[in-house]
Amino acid sequence: MRKYTIKGKEHTVYESGDVIPDYVKYRSDWQEARIGDWVKADDGCIIQVLRRKKIGNFTTIGTCTGTYKATYDMDTVRRKNIYNLTGTEFRTVSKNRKVCTANERMFAKRVAEGWDIVDAYLDVFPAKSVPYAKKRASFLIKTERIDTLMREELKDTFGKHSIDLDYLIGIAKNVTDSAKNDADRLRALTMLWDAYGVIEKQKITNVTGIFQGLSQEQLDSAQRPELPENV
């Protein structure tokens, strides 16, 4: 006998050799079972149906150990995620997915336009909880597919304002030549390169970290000396 707690309620799986209570009347055709029915799984264990859902042309049956397609076998091996057919946790599935969903595309577009990530998530996805949205949004923007899509959206936004790589290089050169000190110069360059995605964020972070370890006096002392006008 095994017990699993789902949403605060304990559910039992009766294994071969267990004494089945009299009130447990199970059926062998688990594919036809309704919510609340006890069924005999294909591995011989007795388990209760907690969910039944129609998805397109097929039906899924959910228990305290997993979710199963009604046209396949059902066992009672506990899945990491009991709410999807693969049994894989959301974070693993989401992280490994290569193609963005329609909602993810809208989310990335809003963030690229300057929206707060939580506001963007709540506007696009059917979520009401701010802490939940914050957790999911923070996770999404770290995935490779969303990062790539956001860079594309940012370049589209830059293009609308006639900002391209040549323009940014020109601005970066002007800032570098006219900045009063190295700290101002680095901040300007970091902002431009990071926004356009020319340099990897990790490399920028490493460089910034070096300068953050210096005091303002040390940074100021690195200022280039002014040359006489006639030189």
Report long-range pairs for 36-40 (Cβ below 8 Å, ≥24 apart): 39/74
- What pTM was estimated for this model as a whole? 0.45
Q: How far is CA 97 from CA 86, 153, 176, in A?
A: 14, 19, 41
pLDDT at site 34:
94
What pLDDT digit, counting tens, does each position of 28-85 carry? 899 999 999 999 999 999 999 999 998 888 899 999 999 998 888 888 989 888 888 7
Section 138-159 average pLDDT: 77
Is residue 212 scored above 50 in pLDDT? no
How many CA atoms within 13 Å lie on the side-chain side of 121? 19
CB-CB contact of 31 with 49 (8 Å)? no
What percent of the chain is modeled with pLDDT above 90? 26
Instruction: Enumerate the domain spans of the chain.
Output: 2-69, 90-159, 165-221
Is residue 225 scored above 50 in pLDDT? no
pLDDT at site 35:
95
What pLDDT digit, counting tens, does each position of 37-50 carry? 999 999 999 999 99
